[in-house]
Structure 1
Amino acid sequence: MEDHHFAWILWYIWKGRNNKVFSNLDMDPRDTLKLAETESLLWAEAQNSQNQGMDHTRLPVPVAIPTIPGRWCFTDGSWKNQDIYSGQGWYSTLEGFDGLIGARNTRASQSPLHSEIEALIWAMECMRNLRQFRVTFATDCAQLMKMVSEPEEWPAFASYLEDITFLKTSFNSSEIIHIPRTHNSRADSLARSARKQPLSVVHMDAKLPVWFAESI
């Protein structure tokens, strides 16, 4: 085992202890070890990417550390005035579904913020349907984070926020965190490419759709 793994293992043992003491959440020690090793490897890759430049084929590594054990799901929405469609994209790291992606377009949303929250809701529905019950959802939309944390301040989005609240009951544990836009390039590319399609599209697979164009 690599030396840098030990710090991450100790960190996740401590977090597991806190989850047990304060939230009565149990986690298999083998899952704790696997999660710590995965996060350690992602951290090491992040250091390499800073020296070698961004590699868009790799998982973008968020700067925040989730407070729950589980899987990552990066989400993004794409909206442009007068376009027919809005785009939604997500990229996940799931046990048994590594590198699974989702992309679709829907009738144009009212605003960029509407497209962001619709993308998050779709991603949550997909994770629930895949029976992934411990998920950290990552978004680069700061307004969406404010909306989720202070729902009473956003009455115009009440129905969306009710959907999110309901969906969260489907998970054993979940959270929504904010990441820099530079760490969300894959979900962003998927959403923008779906938005630009001339016809309705929906895609969920480990492979990119034939219509995907990262340069869009």
Structure 2
Amino acid sequence: MITGGDSPSMELILRKAELWRQAQNIVPDSEEGTVNNKWRKPPQGSFKCNIGSSWSNSFNPSGVSWILRDYKGFTTLHSRRAYSGLRSKEEADLYSMLWAVESMRDLRQHHVSFESSSPELRQILLNPYHFNHFHHLVSAIMYNLQAIEGWSIHHTSLECNSAAGAIAASVTTGRRYQSYVASNGPAWLHTLLTVEAAS
């Protein structure tokens, strides 16, 4: 186990990342079959945490977000955060995952399915040894996931992830830089969240 005081070697990080990938529900698209185009509720007793990110360039703040819904489709919490100086979309995607995982850990949420529509994030998590320059972020994600019981990570379509994507884009397109965690869903996404909850 990697602890806060450890200074693991790159080989150890990559070996742990590969074991972690094999043990989790991160399935390549070819094995998933047809990707769903409708958001689906998680199983009873669990939560779904959709993750979004928005990056334009390294000179403007990037937006990351997550939205947590229960098995009835009800939005329990959502969050947005702005990051400055991120150098790529891949880095923004990784920070969105890290922000969601850290938040679920701090909020003591368990049995959480994380969903992202980022193909870049999926590739990095499936093949971390091909992205050595992101090892510190992958390692931080792995470390924080250890505190969450019953987690999984899934790749989904943009349509299934539109609420989280819209919240993240409010940083880059709406210039809403205030970071927050709030109950329920944002009022301006009420219609979309209601429709998805009824699906």
| TM-score range for the pair, normalised by the shorter chain length | 0.5 to 0.7
Please list every run of 5 or more consecutive structure 2 residues that lacks an aligned counterpart in the other structure. Answer: 1-22, 24-35, 193-199
The 1:159–1:108 alpha-carbon spacing in structure 2 relative to 1, beyond 3 Å, is same
Q: Which of the pair has more CA radius of gyration?
A: 1
Q: 1:131 aligns with which of 83, 99, 108?
A: 108
Bigger RCO (CA 8 Å, 6+ sep): 2
Aligned-pair CA distance for 1:62: 4.5
2:29 match: none
Q: C-alpha root-mean-square deviation of aligned residues, in Å?
A: 3.2
Deviations 1:82-135 (A, max 9, x none): 65200011111148x941211121103111111111011101111111111211
Please list every run of 5 or more consecutive structure 1 residues that lacks an aligned counterpart in the other structure. Answer: 1-22, 24-45, 51-59
Q: Percent identity?
A: 21
Q: Judge conservation of contact 1:88–1:195 (CA < 8 Å) in 2.
A: no
Q: 2:128 aligns with which of 148, 151, 160?
A: 151
Q: Judge conservation of contact 1:75–1:91 (CA < 8 Å) in 2.
A: yes
Aligned-pair CA distance for 1:208: 2.2
Q: 1:92 aligns with which of 63, 68, 75?
A: 68
Aligned-partner SS, 2:151: strand
Aligned-partner SS, 1:184: helix
Q: 1:142 aligns with which of 107, 115, 119?
A: 119
2:53 match: 77
Count of aligned residue pairs for this structure pair: 153
The runs of at least 4 aligned residues of structure 1 exceeding 6 Å deviation read none
Give the TM-score taking structure 1 as reference length: 0.62
Aligned-partner SS, 2:53: strand
Q: Whose helix fraction is larger, Structure 1's or Structure 2's? A: 1
Specify the code of the residue in structure 1 equivalent to 2:65.
Answer: G
